[in-house]
Amino acid sequence: MDAGKVVGYGLIAVVATGIGYAASLPFQAYYTHHNVTFTVDKSERVCDSSNSGCRYLIYTDKGVYEDTDSMLNGKWNSSDIYGQIQNGKTYDATVYGWRSGFMSWYPNIVKLTAK
């Protein structure tokens, strides 16, 4: 095999790997669980312009977190978690994901316990 073909196949492999990695990013967020302690500044329900897609946002001293159901994490109690949140209180939380301003992603709260 000549050197040009080797370089071409190598370039194809690099591009394919990059595309595969980029496509996996949304799913990687589901496996990045970590614990955080924060104090709530405020919380609100935010909906898109048609009111068909809503989520809860929790503003804290450690950043903004999302509270939405998650099929991949078996979380179906977002409204219950949101209902217990009180401004000014401190909580221990298990969250997953990361903040991406470009994609409007926030770490999602899986478990919340008042301190």
* Band (38; pLDDT cuts 50, 70, 90): very high
Residue 26 sits in the same domain as residue 54: no
Per the structure, the complete domain to which residue 93 belongs is given by: 33-114
Residue 52 sits in the same domain as residue 97: yes
Measured CA angle at 111 (ends 106, 115), to 5 deg: 105
For residue 18, give the 3-state DSSP assignment: helix
Transcribe 31-62 into DSSP letters.
G--EEEEEEEEEEEEEE-TTSSSEEEEEEETT
Query: Would the pLDDT of 99 be above 70?
Result: yes
Overall average pLDDT of the 57-63 stretch = 96
Query: Would the pLDDT of 7 be above 70?
Result: no
Query: Would the pLDDT of 86 be above 80?
Result: yes
Q: Check which CATH number belongs to the domain holding 51 and give it.
A: 2.40.50
Q: What are the backbone angles phi and psi of residue 83, rounded to the nearest 5°?
A: -65, -25
pTM score, two decimals? 0.71
Residue 41 sits in the same domain as residue 18: no
Residue 43 sits in the same domain as residue 25: no
Residue 14 sits in the same domain as residue 70: no
Residue 22 sits in the same domain as residue 46: no
Query: Would the pLDDT of 29 be above 70?
Result: no
Residue 68 sits in the same domain as residue 15: no
Residue 97 sits in the same domain as residue 67: yes
Total count of domains within the chain: 2
Q: Tokens 């804290």 map to which residue?
A: 60
Residue 96 sits in the same domain as residue 75: yes
| Spatial distance between the Cα atoms of 59 and 79, rounded to a whole number of angstroms | 16
